[in-house]
Homo-oligomer: A and B are copies of this chain.
Amino acid sequence: MTAEQLKKQRQAYNNKLIEADSFFKEFSALDEKAYSEGAISKKNKELMGLAISVVTRCNECILYHLETSMNAEATLDEIMEAIKIGVIGGGSITYPNARFALKMIEELIKEK
């Protein structure tokens, strides 16, 4: 799937989860609060989320945090550094996710 298709599907099913059960609304609210501007800036938190997404090998999370990092004005250099911290932490089994991240970066840049 393309970045665009993945984003649409994420949005549709996040909405359905929230409609299905208030738990998901509360969980998402807590997640948003943890990622909101604070002692650590929004941008650095989203880059942190990106590194976590690489180390836990979660491709949909990678796409999400690439988007939010870019929205928070993260540069390509910062994004690559976050990916590298994910890879050194999680080892060669994270390589498929680093490749996926690069593919999504290409698509997100083209979209703009």
List A residues at the B interface (Cβ < 8 Å).
9-10, 13-14, 16-17, 20-21, 23-24, 26-27, 30-31, 33-35, 38-40, 44-45, 47-49, 51-53, 55-61, 75, 77-78, 80-82, 84-96, 98-99, 102-103
Q: Evaluate contact between B55 and A57: CB separation under 8 angstroms.
A: no
Q: Evaluate contact between B34 and A85: CB separation under 8 angstroms.
A: yes
Taking A20-B102, A21-B84 as contacts, is the C-beta distance between A93 and B61 under 8 angstroms?
A: yes
* Copies of this chain: 6
C-alpha gap A98/B61 in the complex (Å): 13
Consensus secondary structure, chain A interface: helix
In the complex, what residue of chain B is closest to A91 when comparing beta carbons? B91
Please give the distance in Å from A107's CB to the nearest CB on chain B: 13
